[in-house]
A and B are shown apart, each in its own frame.
Chain A
Amino acid sequence: MTNSEDPILSIQNLHKTYSDGFEALKDINLDISKGEIIALLGPNGAGKTTLISIICGIVRPTSGKVTVCGYDIIRDFRKTRSIIGLVPQELTTDSFETVWSTITFSRGLYGKPPNTQHIEKVLRELSLWDRKDSMIMTLSGGMKRRLMIAKALSHEPEVLFLDEPTAGVDVSLRQDMWEIVSELKQSGVTIILTTHYIDEAEEIADRVGIINDGELILVEEKHTLMRKLGKKQLILELSQPLALIPGSLASFELELSADGNQLVYTFDTQAERTGITSLLDDLKESGIAFRDLDTTQSTLEEIFVNLVSDAPVGQGGPQ
């Protein structure tokens, strides 16, 4: 049905308005390639979960079209849903079931014949094999989170949705999750994750999409995004404290630290001229010496905060 160049997931003009009139999604367009990891960032209530829920069949779209491997999610729901695995945000499990039985249930539900080897492989990969006969209620929060992933992987999906996979988990478990995601990517699974942890997207995603108020305001390759929108700062540690910035340096719009020991110059990495050479020349002419210098780049978090507070943004745009 599709060739390798076609997107594995294609969303076109997707709208969702709930019965109470709330417009959760506004004209979402997005193509996702096979094997990539895309992180959807956005504040609470931005529409991330609604978007995932529509693709997985839990929420009905108001209008628009979504295809998975070229199959329509409504007309060919059996095909698309068997390709998709979903790890929801909430830890919703049957407390009185065992790990083994709940995963066997998930595999069967998705139309796959029993395959104990595959389930064993998934459980071992997620460090749950030793707990296969344990009741779910006896598992720790981290184990339950891994169990949710195991359930979603039980039917060997090609596309995996992770809705806030690390919400409320400790630092070491977050690292574990990132490793799991990275291993899944290596095995060829396409991963769409939602998060509001920016460092998570920065760490593991190939592309980042930013959703705010139901609109996909930007989708960009992570490094391109940071290069495009990230500002760099040159920090100069002065040899002697400065009381005021000399008038000759006014054009650089420098910032002086409160103690007068640090000068900060913010520049655009995309600009034809960064102005660094001129600044250093002018500093020398003004007799201002410095003993050290450093540069810092905006984090994805700063980019994100800027974007959602200034939305809509002209740069980038949905792909």
Chain B
Amino acid sequence: MNLHGVLAIYKFEMARTSRTLVQSIVAPVITTSLYFIVFGAAIGSRIQQVEGVSYGAFIVPGLIMLNLLTHSISNASFGIYFPKFVGTIYEVLSAPVSTMEVVLGYVGSAATKSLILGIIILFTAAFFVDLQIAHPFVMLFFLVSTAASFSLLGFIIGIWADNFEKLSVVPMLLVTPLIFLGGSFYSIDMLPPLWQTISLFNPVLYLVSGFRWSFYEIADVNVGVSMLCIILFMAACLSVVFWIFKTGYKLRT
């Protein structure tokens, strides 16, 4: 295994974040704080508790998932798209690194950045609401597996995209609506029966539900189903990534 190669990509990508610290870390923290002020304090004070949890605390797992998903995708997609755009990808393609090593480098760094962000938001939330984490290891499982699998999705988008519009079209038109409609800010029990059924087709619901269960032991769907869902999603993304490198799709002619 070319460990030096993996580390080179990983460190390079992490260093890129340190140059854009405000955009990568400060901005999401400020946005999340605003969510707490608006939903937690202003609107939340008028909403009754959700299944025994204050509304401000209820939305914390959803907010972390929202940031985890969007930043995993944007970090990984930009990480691989930018070398394609400026042409420096030639170096990765001509280097003695395997598919797995390239993925480890790019996806690993994107997932690490998202994880750091998720943890920062968790600590930020603790300033605003009374947090409890009933199952820390399950929480960590969802945190790591979501960061990794959505970074894989971002990596796929970054390879597929051949312009900046394509780079943002999937996160904006597909992922963001799925997150907002995936129970990030509400329990699906609050919806009419038809919409409850429709929501069950939204994969993000399973992530938010499982993640929320690890905090408060309340969930829209069984936590085991949530875990299976994220594992299947990661397996699907990995299969696509291997197919990309096997066929050279959009990378090698």
Measured CB to CB, the residues of A under 8 A from B are: 18-19, 56-60, 77-79, 81-82, 84, 86, 88, 90, 92-96, 101, 104-113, 151
Could you say which residues of chain A place their CB within 8 Å of the CB of B87? Answer: 88, 90, 92
Could you say which residues of chain B place their CB within 8 Å of the CB of A88? Answer: 87, 90
- Name which residue of chain B comes closest to A86, CB basis: B94
Query: Can you list, as one digit per residue, whether each of B95-114 has a CB less than 8 Å from chain A (1) or not (0)?
Result: 11110000000000000000
- Name which residue of chain A comes closest to B88, CB basis: A92
Alpha-carbon distance between A111 and B5 when the two chains are bound, in angstroms: 5
Alpha-carbon distance between A34 and B97 when the two chains are bound, in angstroms: 25
Let me know if B163 is at the binding interface, CB within 8 A: no
14 contacts between A and B (CB under 8 A): A18-B253, A57-B252, A59-B253, A81-B94, A84-B94, A92-B88, A93-B88, A105-B11, A106-B91, A107-B4, A107-B8, A108-B5, A109-B8, A109-B92
Contact of B253 among A19, A78, A110, A113 (CB under 8 A): A19
For the complex formed, measure the closest distance between the CB of B22 and the CB atoms of chain A, giving whole angstroms: 15
Asked if residues A151 and B91 are in contact (CB atoms below 8 Å), the reply is: yes
Could you say which residues of chain A place their CB within 8 Å of the CB of B90? Answer: 58, 86, 88, 92
Asked if residues B95 and A109 are in contact (CB atoms below 8 Å), the reply is: yes
For the complex formed, measure the closest distance between the CB of A145 and the CB atoms of chain B, giving whole angstroms: 14
Specify which of A77, A92, A109 lies most central, judged by the most chain B CB atoms within 10 Å of its CB: A109
For the complex formed, measure the closest distance between the CB of A194 and the CB atoms of chain B, giving whole angstroms: 15
User: Which label, helix, strand, loop or mixed, suits the secondary structure of the B interface?
Assistant: helix
Alpha-carbon distance between A78 and B91 when the two chains are bound, in angstroms: 14
Asked if residues B94 and A56 are in contact (CB atoms below 8 Å), the reply is: yes
Task: List 8 additional A-B contacts (Cβ < 8 Å) besides A93-B88, A107-B4.
Answer: A18-B253, A59-B252, A78-B98, A86-B90, A96-B16, A105-B8, A109-B9, A109-B91
Asked if residues A81 and B248 are in contact (CB atoms below 8 Å), the reply is: no
For the complex formed, measure the closest distance between the CB of A167 and the CB atoms of chain B, giving whole angstroms: 15
Asked if residues B88 and A60 are in contact (CB atoms below 8 Å), the reply is: no
Could you say which residues of chain B place their CB within 8 Å of the CB of A108? Answer: 4-5, 7-8, 11
- Name which residue of chain A comes closest to B20, CB basis: A96
A-B contact count (CB 8 A): 79
Asked if residues B88 and A94 are in contact (CB atoms below 8 Å), the reply is: yes
Asked if residues B4 and A111 are in contact (CB atoms below 8 Å), the reply is: yes
Let me know if B19 is at the binding interface, CB within 8 A: yes
Contact of A111 among B2, B12, B88, B91 (CB under 8 A): B2
Alpha-carbon distance between A57 and B94 when the two chains are bound, in angstroms: 5
Let me know if B15 is at the binding interface, CB within 8 A: yes
Specify which of A86, A88, A108 lies most central, judged by the most chain B CB atoms within 10 Å of its CB: A108
Could you say which residues of chain A place their CB within 8 Å of the CB of B248? Answer: 60
Let me know if B93 is at the binding interface, CB within 8 A: yes
Let me know if B190 is at the binding interface, CB within 8 A: no
Contact of A81 among B7, B11, B86, B95 (CB under 8 A): B95
Could you say which residues of chain A place their CB within 8 Å of the CB of B252? Answer: 57-60
Could you say which residues of chain B place their CB within 8 Å of the CB of A57? Answer: 93-94, 252
For the complex formed, measure the closest distance between the CB of B190 and the CB atoms of chain A, giving whole angstroms: 46
Asked if residues A60 and B86 are in contact (CB atoms below 8 Å), the reply is: no
For the complex formed, measure the closest distance between the CB of B158 and the CB atoms of chain A, giving whole angstroms: 16
For the complex formed, measure the closest distance between the CB of B186 and the CB atoms of chain A, giving whole angstroms: 42
For the complex formed, measure the closest distance between the CB of A137 and the CB atoms of chain B, giving whole angstroms: 11
For the complex formed, measure the closest distance between the CB of A154 and the CB atoms of chain B, giving whole angstroms: 10
Could you say which residues of chain B place their CB within 8 Å of the CB of A93? Answer: 86, 88
Specify which of B4, B94, B253 lies most central, judged by the most chain A CB atoms within 10 Å of its CB: B94
Nearest first, the 4 A-B pairs at minimum CB distance are A108-B8, A92-B87, A81-B96, A78-B96
Could you say which residues of chain A place their CB within 8 Å of the CB of B8? Answer: 104-109
Asked if residues B96 and A60 are in contact (CB atoms below 8 Å), the reply is: no
Could you say which residues of chain B place their CB within 8 Å of the CB of A110? Answer: 4-5, 95-96
- Name which residue of chain A comes closest to B86, CB basis: A92
Could you say which residues of chain A place their CB within 8 Å of the CB of B2? Answer: 78, 111
Asked if residues A111 and B96 are in contact (CB atoms below 8 Å), the reply is: yes
For window 60-96 of chain B, which residues contact chain A by CB distance below 8 Å?
A: 86-88, 90-96
Alpha-carbon distance between A111 and B95 when the two chains are bound, in angstroms: 8
Contact of B96 among A82, A94, A105, A106 (CB under 8 A): A82
Could you say which residues of chain A place their CB within 8 Å of the CB of B19? Answer: 96
Could you say which residues of chain A place their CB within 8 Å of the CB of B253? Answer: 18-19, 59-60
Alpha-carbon distance between A86 and B92 when the two chains are bound, in angstroms: 11
Alpha-carbon distance between A94 and B87 when the two chains are bound, in angstroms: 9
Could you say which residues of chain A place their CB within 8 Å of the CB of B5? Answer: 108-111
Specify which of A94, A96, A101, A104 lies most central, judged by the most chain B CB atoms within 10 Å of its CB: A94
Could you say which residues of chain B place their CB within 8 Å of the CB of A151? Answer: 91
